[in-house]
Chains A and B, each alone.
Chain A
Amino acid sequence: MELKFHIMGGDFSNAGSASSEIKRVLKQINVPSDIIKSIVVALYEAEVNIVAHAYEGDMVVDVQPDRLIAVLSDKGPGIPDIELAMQEGYSTASPKVREMGFGAGMGLPNIQKNTDILNISSTPGEGTKVSFTVFFKPKS
């Protein structure tokens, strides 16, 4: 099953709606609740990253029998130094975005903590692609 969502940069009033829809679908197909909780954190952070940093982007979520694969690709400023962006507390968010409680530099670390496989590729000036996989197996 493949689900696609278009996400507009700056559209904070709808941030989280794509993640919410996927959460609903995962509940319907009886994915274990602790796995849903992890997926929701990762999806929301990736969705908000597009809203906060990019001009626009797409979230494509492929739900397979044993795993979820999410690919979020955006048109935006890109990330010049991914290693730096992965550091907890590092953020390039605007003051306005920070006032809302975003831009704490916890988004990408939250995605990493809640996924089994994470890949980030980016071309500065063009955009960023975040892909992650979460397996539907109980946590050890």
Chain B
Amino acid sequence: MKVKEIVEKLGLQIYAGHQGLEKEISGGYCADLLSDVMGNSKQGMVWITLQNHKNVIAVASLKDLSAVILVNGTKPHVDTAEQAQAENIPILGTSAGAFETAGKLWHLLNYI
């Protein structure tokens, strides 16, 4: 499944990184600790978090993640959005929480 498909199916907002919407998704990882994501996420995953500072994009880029979903209506900082745009990493957003978002994404990736 591509990033643009989960945007459509989960009704996500796109804050930055439109160029990356065609990326394939291999799974998801839900965490707000950056070292947890560094240590345990895998290439192609979508990262669900409420962290919205620039380092999120550094981690997503170093780990080759497909996209970041900010939960609870969190918006990216201006420099976060700029970096995401430069690195072609979609930053998406939802008013839903991490549990609900992860549940819906898991269902999409496993049953659709």
Contact B53 A100 (CB under 8 A): yes
Q: Chain B's nearest CB lies how many Å from the CB of A94?
A: 15
Q: Which of A17, A40, A101, A109 has the most CB of B within 10 A?
A: A101
A114 to B21, CA, bound (A): 30
* Count of interface residues, chain B, beta-carbon cutoff 8 Å: 19
Contact A16 B59 (CB under 8 A): yes
Q: Chain B's nearest CB lies how many Å from the CB of A139?
A: 15
Chain B residues with CB under 8 A of A19: 58, 62
* Count of interface residues, chain A, beta-carbon cutoff 8 Å: 23
Q: Is the interface of A mostly helix, strand, loop or mixed?
A: helix
Chain A residues with CB under 8 A of B54: 12-13
The 8 Å CB contact of B51, one of A15, A101, A110, is A101
A41 to B32, CA, bound (A): 17
The 8 Å CB contact of B55, one of A15, A23, A40, A113, is A15
Q: Which residues of B contact A (CB under 8 A)?
A: 32-36, 38-39, 43, 49, 51, 53-55, 58-59, 61-63, 79
- Which 5 A-B residue pairs are closest in the complex by CB-CB distance? A16-B58, A106-B35, A104-B33, A101-B34, A110-B39
A-B contact pairs, 13 of them (CB 8 A): A12-B53, A12-B54, A13-B54, A16-B61, A20-B61, A40-B63, A41-B38, A44-B59, A100-B55, A104-B33, A106-B33, A106-B38, A106-B39
